[in-house]
A and B are shown apart, each in its own frame.
Chain A
Amino acid sequence: DGGITQSPKYLFRKEGQNVTLSCEQNLNHDAMYWYRQDPGQGLRLIYYSQIVNDFQKGDIAEGYSVSREKKESFPLTVTSAQKNPTAFYLCASAPGGLNTEAFFGQGTRLTVV
């Protein structure tokens, strides 16, 4: 099946620890995105990548890092510098043109314990 896969579905992190969320797509899409979803705040863009080996900060990049070494993979690391990491994280991919819709994974719910 073609699609975009996020893992794990649920993740628990202790304060002060870094954690990496996985996002893989087999749609041959150039663009990939990471969003954070909090109640009442909608989806806020963390990072996005238009092509392999390139990525740009979104609106709330502080405390997060990404890499794009392969076209199909765009992992997100939540670092200890992120003060309030508990949230629902969504990854998306798109073919790359301005007129193309994005396809979303099922999300990862991160909880700090």
Chain B
Amino acid sequence: AQSVAQPEDQVNVAEGNPLTVKCTYSVSGNPYLFWYVQYPNRGLQFLLKYITGDNLVKGSYGFEAEFNKSQTSFHLKKPSALVSDSALYFCAVRDGGGATNKLIFGTGTLLAVQP
């Protein structure tokens, strides 16, 4: 069965510093990986996705993510954090080896950027 793990409940970073939010996954086939952001009491907004090709994916608001097949990871990164980046971040996966387009999310990581 497909699954995704976000090992950190919260990540704290100072404004201007680089940030990383971690995600690992488990699928039977090729992974289709996604990052979303959620602001309080709102729905999720799509940031970026990995389908195939270049392991470094660039997305919205200066975010990027690095796909690592050997480590089954898809970590979200940003070179310089902003206070406005503070939000809840979710990693999600679809299993390319599955028979459905079931989309599974991790437990989320709260990013807190201090001024």
Instruction: Find the A residue at minimum CB distance from B104.
Output: A45
Contacts of A43 in B (CB 8 A): 44, 90, 105, 108
Complex contact A42–B105 (CB within 8 A): yes
**With A107-B41, A107-B42 as contacts: A56 and B105 at CB distance below 8 Å:** no
User: A43 CB to closest chain B CB, in angstroms?
Assistant: 4
Complex contact B101–A31 (CB within 8 A): yes
In the bound complex, CA of A42 to CA of B44 (Å): 12
- Is B11 at the interface (CB under 8 A from chain A)? no
- Is A90 at the interface (CB under 8 A from chain B)? yes
Complex contact A48–B107 (CB within 8 A): no
In this complex, the interface size class of chain B, counting residues with CB under 8 Å from chain A, is 20 to 34
Q: Which of B43, B49, B90 contacts A99 (CB 8 A)?
A: B49
Q: Which of A6, A42, A48, A104 contacts B106 (CB 8 A)?
A: A42
B-contact bits for A68-108, CB 8 A (1 contact / 0 none): 00000000000000000000101010101111011111110
- Is B14 at the interface (CB under 8 A from chain A)? no
- Is A40 at the interface (CB under 8 A from chain B)? yes
In the bound complex, CA of A67 to CA of B94 (Å): 23
In the bound complex, CA of A90 to CA of B92 (Å): 15
Instruction: Find the A residue at minimum CB distance from B106.
Output: A42
Complex contact B32–A99 (CB within 8 A): yes
Q: Which of B32, B51, B108 contacts A42 (CB 8 A)?
A: B108
Interface of A toward B, CB cutoff 8 Å: 6, 31, 33, 35, 40-45, 48, 50, 56, 58-59, 88, 90, 92, 94, 96-99, 101-107, 109
Interface of B toward A, CB cutoff 8 Å: 6, 9, 32, 34, 36, 41-46, 49, 51, 90, 92, 94, 96, 100-108
